[in-house]
Structure 1
Amino acid sequence: MAHYARRRCRSACAGKEVSLMKKVHVIGGGLAGPEAALQAAAAGCEVTLYEMRPHRSTEAHQTSDFAELVCSNSLKSESENTAPWLLKQEMRRAGSFLLKEADATAVPAGHALAVDRVEFSRRVAEAIAANPRITVVREEVISLDESGDHITVLATGPLTSPALAAELQRLTGSDQLAFYDSIAPIVDASSIDMEKVYFAARWDKGTADYINCPFTKEEYDTFLDALLTSEKVELKEWEKGQYFEACLPIDELARRGRDTLRFGPMKPAGLTNPKTGRWPYACVQLRQENLRADSYNLVGFQNHIKYGDQAKVLRLIPGLENAKFLRYGQIHRNTYINSPAVLNGTLQLKAHPSIVIAGQLSGVEGYTESIAGGLLGGRFAALLARGEEPVAPPRQSAHGSLLHYITHAEAKHFQPANITFDLLVPLEEELRKKIRDKKERHRLQCERALEAWGAWLAQSALPVG
């Protein structure tokens, strides 16, 4: 395209041909933004990274740090041949900067990759500060330049400021959608009654890093009754109660039936209590928050309950009767664009192709998926800055499948997605009939995905790792 043709000039002094790459502006210092900035800089681009905190904060952030993990500290499963594992394996092979820091700051979490969130943010900030091609600007961006003079990666995430959201709405001509996301409660480890809990990993996968709080039927009924009668946070005018189904608050789940929690975040299956030799009636899992192991978060316990009632309800969990909570659970609004309607296959706005949307704003859900979106967004932006056309990753790969979903789903009913095997291209019908074992089918899908991903990376003009 002529619009992106590489401009060249002659150096009067050296007489050498010099490429004039466009600069890359990355807006957002969460997960996708820093990954995109580091990817573009590694490709030789001059990058300006904008972050509005601390001048303007959000409903969920507690710091102004880059890559702050506001919900849990888990980047999902590391079990071989699972969909989250596949996505991370592809990211590692592509040289994801943030995943490298996540691996370096990992804390025990069974078969999951969980990080010390403070150390993780610190290391990401160090990587950005050490890169001479990245300039950090701490100010709120309220307008977007669609002229094409530079390439913009918009990675402001689920809590995009109202002014920038309005600007994005102006450019796309489509309504911003909203759903709720979560923050899990965090408890001081020293306040847990270790006599009432036990360490175990579900189905003994990985190491026994989770603290499990077992319920009898009577304890569960008491807990559930208190939960159902607790006082909820009053919805603000801009809130619509449009929850993301994969991240429902426990108070909403409880209203759907007395056993719903037992098949969700309080599922006891595979968590044998060594004191009884049996599964409990229900169970709450606590996951280590940091390397010091002095705090744990309550897995899947996001809620919309007022803090006073929340303390009373959570202290009905066996082992947490005298718990000291370092942070209570919250639900906050997230925004994302209607990607199938406004994005092309390489995350560019169809109407303004010099603007790339990355991370949760594009309709992916989860930390790992957000970093993956930043990786793609940064690489696409670098190619555009060089005057080259980006090419989407192969559909067989995890990245390609996730990208295909957000750009090809039904626009009318679009909702954010995590990476799952449902998004990946299934095996050929003949193979599906021949191989009945689901684990073996998944292994073959992962093998095919990594091969396709490797070929795509090899064909790219950009550096890897």
Structure 2
Amino acid sequence: MKIRVIGGGLAGPEAALTAARLGCEVDLYEMRRMVNGTPHLTPAHQTTEFGELVCSNSLKSESPNTAPWLLKEEMRRFGSVLLKIADETAVPAGHALAVDRVEFSRRIEAAIEAEPRIRVFRKEVTSLDSDECTIVASGPLTSNALSQEILRITGSQHLAFYDSISPIVEADSIEMERVYFAARWDKGTADYINCPFTREEYDRFLDALLSAEAAQEKEWEKLDYFESCLPIEVLASRGRDTLRFGPMKPVGLTDPRTGKWPYAAVQLRKENLRADSYNLVGFQNHLKYGEQARILRLIPGLENAKFLRYGQIHRNTYICAPALLDESLRLRQQPNILFAGQISGVEGYTESIASGMLAGLYAARLAAGAEPIPVPRSTALGSLVHYITHSDAKDFQPANITFDLLEPLEEDLRKKIRDKKERRRIQCERTLAAFDAWNAAQLQNA
């Protein structure tokens, strides 16, 4: 039983480790590599390591009865390897699961090296064989050659949009007397650094941002951003208060020195356990580096900031999953080829790992000569897959896990239970029960 997995980001290693655990021999391909001592990378990656996190280091909320928590809880119950590694490499981040990105990648690499059923090939894949069980998890920066091959076998135009990367600042360069530690609404521990703005400071920052020079676009670029991950300059152009209701929202961030909320605030989150660097939460942008240095130093507390990384924009390629995939992530016309990760139409780290986990399971069953048992719609995993495989193909956009994707409660129950938190608790309870039943069936059919 042999499976080919293309991509060494998040979905690929999870798929490979899942399939190997189920008894399959796996060939794992990654095009990032060292050639004569020189790294061959993508425009967004900085290393050749598996599982490199190129944007935030957060896998979102760990608060019970939230949609991100629910998805992770299902993954933990199934035995997701990468989520286990994320738990082991977690750094303080209030009520979110954030990881030390260097240690996270290192442990993924170690897990793959320790698995005798996985062989790693550092080379670009440019062709797909419909007779070979293959998981395409090549990610948002799929090479041009592989993109053309996907286009050839699908016969359908796949789409592209641009995702973005937040800046990272050295901890020692933050003016600590100008900032304060707090978690929004005091949820979890106070692990975030908050940079408070007065109205005058906010207006000065906004004016500088609106007049900033964007990074030069290449001729082939069409900036079609993911609505949930917009650059700050795009948000700012929509109105003077847009940032105050988005990444600079001050609500729930009480300044202990004043007992009040600031007019606006920028939050900084730890990059690693040493706490020697912080990323600017939600501050992805498409500005020239010199402009970023000038404007970001207008943030209170960052007047003398040293930036380890500036914000960037990178291409994010994905297929039109509703037109192409079935509920077991297979191409309908080429059922030996599966898609997982961001190229399949899911958005976010956790969602990518989750789809890789499912693809590894489904591919293992295919390799064994059996039909996959798709995760039911009544689960969080199933709801995510249902979205990417049943949306309107004409207007399809990638999605994170949200309660909107889950099966709603019955109307009479929604009317009876007015409290939103209680409704969501019941919804999560039902969802996990459905997942446990499906997971038990997988064990019986293993």
Q: Tell me the TM-score normalized by structure 2.
A: 0.98
Partner SS state of residue 271, structure 1: coil
Partner of 1:6: none
Partner of 1:203: 185
Q: Does 1:57 align with 2:12?
A: no
Aligned with 1:296 (options 266, 269, 278): 278
Q: Does 1:335 align with 2:314?
A: no
Q: 1:174, CA displacement in angstroms? A: 1.1
Aligned with 1:249 (options 218, 231, 234): 231
Q: 1:462, CA displacement in angstroms? A: 7.4
Aligned length: 441
Aligned with 1:317 (options 279, 282, 299): 299
Q: Does 1:24 align with 2:3?
A: yes
Aligned with 2:25 (options 34, 46, 49): 46
Partner of 1:145: 129
Which of the pair has more CA radius of gyration? Answer: 1
Task: Map 1:57-136; keep pairs closer than 5 Å.
Answer: 57-136=41-120
Q: 1:256, CA displacement in angstroms? A: 0.4
Partner of 2:37: none
Q: 1:238, CA displacement in angstroms? A: 2.0
The 1-side partners of 2:158 and 2:169 are apart by: 35
CA RMSD of aligned residues (A): 1.0
Q: Tell me the TM-score normalized by structure 1.
A: 0.94
Partner SS state of residue 140, structure 2: helix
Task: Map 1:2-21; keep pairs closer than 5 Å.
Answer: 21=1
Segment of structure 1 superposing worse, 262-271 or 235-244? 235-244
Partner of 1:12: none
The 1-side partners of 2:384 and 2:182 are apart by: 32
Partner of 2:262: 280
Aligned with 2:338 (options 356, 363, 373): 356
Kept after mapping to 2: 8 A contact 1:87/1:398:
yes
Identity %: 73
Gap regions ≥5 residues in structure 1: 1-20
CA offsets 1:254-292 (integer angstroms, 9 cap, x no match) = 100000000000000000001111000000000000010
The 2-side partners of 1:74 and 1:158 are apart by: 18
The 1-side partners of 2:42 and 2:157 are apart by: 21
Kept after mapping to 2: 8 A contact 1:29/1:66:
yes
The one-letter code of the counterpart of 1:178 is A
Q: 1:54, CA displacement in angstroms? A: 1.7
Kept after mapping to 2: 8 A contact 1:224/1:258:
yes
The 1-side partners of 2:338 and 2:141 are apart by: 17
CA offsets 1:113-169 (integer angstroms, 9 cap, x no match) = 0000000000000000000000000000010111x2x31000001000000000000
Partner SS state of residue 143, structure 1: coil
CA offsets 1:275-326 (integer angstroms, 9 cap, x no match) = 1110000000000000100000000000000000110000000000000000
Aligned with 2:392 (options 410, 419, 422): 410
Kept after mapping to 2: 8 A contact 1:77/1:111:
yes
The 2-side partners of 1:463 and 1:86 are apart by: 25
The 1-side partners of 2:284 and 2:296 are apart by: 11
Q: Does 1:444 align with 2:426?
A: yes
The one-letter code of the counterpart of 1:152 is T
The 2-side partners of 1:292 and 1:231 are apart by: 34
The one-letter code of the counterpart of 2:111 is A
Task: Map 1:177-216; keep pairs closer than 5 Å.
Answer: 177-216=159-198
Q: Does 1:174 align with 2:156?
A: yes
The 2-side partners of 1:202 and 1:331 are apart by: 28
Segment of structure 1 superposing worse, 454-463 or 331-340? 454-463
The 1-side partners of 2:218 and 2:408 are apart by: 43
Q: 1:372, CA displacement in angstroms? A: 0.3
Kept after mapping to 2: 8 A contact 1:43/1:463:
no
The 2-side partners of 1:439 and 1:178 are apart by: 36
Q: 1:462 to 1:286 in 2, by over 3 A?
A: farther
Partner SS state of residue 158, structure 1: coil
CA offsets 1:403-432 (integer angstroms, 9 cap, x no match) = 000000000000000000000000011111
**Runs of 4 or more consecutive aligned structure 1 residues displaced over 3 Å after TM superposition:** 461-464
Gap regions ≥5 residues in structure 2: 35-39
Aligned with 2:16 (options 34, 37, 40): 37
